[in-house]
Chain A
Amino acid sequence: MVPIQIENLSYTYPSREIPTLHGINAEVSPSDFVLLTGPTGCGKTTLLRAMNGLIPHASSGTLTGSVRINDENVAFQPLAVTCQQVALLFQNPDDQLFCTLVEDEIAFGLENLCFPPEKIKERITLALEQVGLTGFEDRRIAELSGGEKQRVALASICAMQPKVLLLDEPTSHLDPRATWDILNIVKQLNTEIGITVVLTTHRVKEVAPLCNLVWLMNDGEFCLNLPKTEAFQDTSIFRNLGVEVPDTDSPPSSVHPKPSINTTPHHPLLSVKDISFCYPNSDENAVKTISCEVSRGEIIAIMGANGSGKTTLLHLIGGLLQPSSGQIIIDGKTSKRKKLHQLAGKVGIVFQNPDLLLQAETVKSEVEFGPKNLKLKPDILQTVVVDTLAQFRLTNFAEEAPYSLSRGQRQRVAVAATFSLHPDIFLLDEPTTGQDAQHLQLMMDELCDQIRQENKTLIFATHNTELTLKYADRVFVLSEGELIFDGTPYAAFSNKELLENASLAF
């Protein structure tokens, strides 16, 4: 029996004319591990939703063709039946966890299926064992790390003992160590229990060694459906679509050192002096007595595991948080008593979720928002807006609504909107999340070009070693809120002990 059979599947979302999926045909055998990749917006998530029955059961729109799981058409059987055969793990653990305690979360699905309490207990123990979280039953989910949360989410669907596991970019929010943990667990479920796996990702290099079948999508269609051994023989199709290719780019260890940079600048643009920060309701400091200096023109990566304090440090530099102790000096002046609007033009930040910045009706007014607040003269304002749109290749989208654009384009709009103020220090939080290689490279190339041209400073937080190696002059490595390394990327990635300590080794 074939676990998954997809026949001529097409789907069009309501209010759209162009189908998001078009003529998909595929078969998956028991115990297959499928790597599903493609550019952002190509239809990967939609295909997974159609495979577990969310389309059409929880979505309107037009569906033609069929998805059969063990010969049953998922469109014709209730979701409560399908979910016992096909489980779907979502991208962001925070969006899918409903309960407060680990045990309750794992029990949730089984309770919906009316399992008796003693059977639920049994399944919880087994599921926690499968994801390596034995003993976590009574832990509060809010207190877990990002990787642990994703493992709880995985346990909550494993408890239902599905035959097919669908994973939608399950590691995009995770650091390398947590990524490795999750992928390892998925591989074990695949090989030891025989669960069929379909995993979507942009991080092809990490998943390719585990899979045996590769699906490549573009514009809602399959461009490639081949066993792994054949799929990567000619990588041009991947490259043309801007999708990452395994083992073709230089691995971190073979990267040559960049020209030396001055890590102890004489006239720093930014001085961070012994800052610590503790979140309300927390006993431990998220950032612990960090000191560093950054000069004009530098591009700096902040790396570290989930929860190591990267985002907190960016928010402290950006003035969004005030340090509990220590001080931050920007261009010779302390930022302590400054109001946020007084830092406009000095510091700009783009969050991990760029959508939080998008508040205007059009891309043009989004880019205009900052300079307008600084009361620029109309002719100068016009020049700034036109130039910024051109610099970030957004001129054609000027009159579009930001929310109508793709995720990659929205991030570029957020970057352009922040850059239009020409801040001395540009802060960028985890730019890789949900981005394909092509969009990421385009955005980073444009931003770094502008930063270098204008002699500004860019500080970005990331888990991505390749991004750091390609763009950063200097790297700060954080571990449990402490700055444990400040030096060149080459020196950082040559130090295996450091990478282990910072959970950056994959």
Chain B
Amino acid sequence: MAIRSTKLESRTKILIMMVCGCLVILLDSPTALLTCFLASLVLIAISKPTLRQIRLLFIFLIFTTWGLIYSQGMFYNAFPRTVLITLVPVEFPFIGEWTGGIRIYREGLFHGIIQSLRFNTTLVIGCYIVWSTQPRDLLLALGQLRVPGALAFMVTTALHFIPVIAGEAVAVIRSQRLRGFRYLQFNLFATVRGVINSFRPILAGNIRHATNLGESVESRGFSPDTATQRTSLRTSQMDKWDYCLIALLSFCLICIIGLKVLYFCYANGIYYGSWLRGVYTFTREVL
């Protein structure tokens, strides 16, 4: 099973991403979102990521979770809201008076947890696709899913260049630091300008790489207009596991949409059925 799972067909992976993208928008309960997030972790775990990839993903997850919870906790402006900590009291000179006080709200933290689970689930599935799919398989899969050739090639090329861009970004940042530039300094204006300037060589490099690759594939007969008509050395067939997984996810998605629609009708006074009370409770509590 584990070996089979690492070799999900590329179309299945794309469909998983699409379904999960819909699910994290539809679901509101932390329990359901946590289940989605844990399922995405299981998916990436069975694709056997390297230690470096795990470390990178962990860093991403920590930063996004911390950033979202903290920012939502502080800037939550819906009501009701309960103050947990007051960081800057309203009486505090200048900043307190100007901002009306800075506080962390319990409901904001809760909202931040939900947002971070949504974001992290899509992040993990995105990493799963990038790390476990070869560019040509992705191009083939997008073609089979009737995605326009130009768009499919752009997506594939963007993924293909992620490691190159990351490597060049590191080189640019290090070379700037070796020329005495400090990214963390009191002069915020200089920091921002330095960061903006560092994008220039990275962007120029991207354009150059993309142009060269584009010309190389065009010189070998690739055309976005005929991308879906290509033959393929490797045949890529979905097997029963792919179909089962897609069927299961689609079933879950359809059920959740149905339940949410029923609950929406009830909550807005459009339709109420006493025989559906269990459904309303389940949707409110679990979804």
Contacts and interface: CB of A to CB of B under 8 A. Distances in A.
* B partners with A: yes
Interface of A: 49, 52, 54, 57-58, 78-80, 83-84, 87-88, 90, 92, 94-101, 103-104, 107-117, 120-121, 124, 156-157, 160, 280-281, 318-320, 339-341, 343-345, 347-349, 351, 353, 355-360, 369-370, 373-374, 403, 417-418, 421
B219 A52 contact: yes
Given A113-B221, A359-B197, 9 more contacts: A88-B216, A94-B164, A99-B135, A108-B220, A110-B231, A114-B231, A318-B178, A356-B201, A357-B201
B175 A357 contact: yes
B215 A109 contact: no
Contacts of B164: 94
Interface stretch (B179-187, B239-247, B276-284): B179-187
Interface of B: 50, 52, 134-136, 160, 164, 168, 171-172, 174-182, 197-198, 200-201, 204-205, 208-209, 212-223, 226, 229-235
Contact of A100 (B134, B180, B220): B134
A336 to B, nearest CB: 16
A98 B197 contact: no
Given A111-B231, A351-B175, A98 B180 contact: no
21 contacts: A52-B219, A79-B219, A79-B223, A90-B212, A95-B208, A96-B212, A96-B216, A99-B135, A99-B136, A100-B134, A104-B233, A108-B222, A112-B230, A114-B230, A114-B231, A345-B180, A357-B172, A358-B200, A359-B197, A403-B204, A418-B179
Contact of A95 (B216, B219, B229): B216
B244 to A, nearest CB: 28
A484 to B, nearest CB: 28
Contacts, number: 167
A114 B228 CA distance: 11
A341 B212 contact: no
Nearest to B182: A341
Nearest to A54: B215
Contacts of B230: 111-112, 114
B233 A121 contact: yes
Which of B174, B179, B198, B216 gathers most chain A CB within 10 Å? B179
Contact of B213 (A95, A109, A358, A403): A95
Nearest to B172: A356
B160 A95 contact: no
B215 A49 contact: yes
Contacts of B229: 114
Contact of B50 (A83, A281, A320): A281
Contacts of A418: 179
Given A49-B215, A108-B220, A417-B179, A360 B197 contact: yes
B178 A359 contact: no
B178 A340 contact: yes
Contacts of A111: 230-233
Given A111-B233, A351-B171, A373-B179, A58 B134 contact: no
A104 B197 CA distance: 38
A344 B178 contact: yes
A369 B172 CA distance: 14
A79 B218 contact: yes
A240 to B, nearest CB: 31
Contact of A54 (B50, B197, B218): B218
Which of B160, B172, B215, B226 gathers most chain A CB within 10 Å? B215
B198 to A, nearest CB: 6
Nearest to A97: B216
B201 A112 contact: no
Contacts of A369: 179, 181
Given A79-B219, A112-B221, A95 B231 contact: no
Given A80-B223, A111-B231, A356 B171 contact: yes
A95 B209 contact: yes
Contacts of A95: 208-209, 212-213, 216
Contacts of A160: 220-221
Nearest to A354: B201
Contacts of B136: 98-100, 104, 108
A84 B209 CA distance: 24
B46 to A, nearest CB: 20
B200 A359 contact: yes
Contact of A340 (B52, B160, B174, B205): B174
Given A96-B212, A107-B233, A319 B178 contact: yes
Nearest to A103: B233
Nearest to B157: A98
B221 A54 contact: no
Which of A90, A113, A124, A359 gathers most chain B CB within 10 Å? A359
Given A90-B212, A104-B134, A351-B171, A343 B221 contact: no
Contacts of B200: 358-359
Contacts of A359: 172, 176, 197-198, 200-201
Nearest to A160: B220
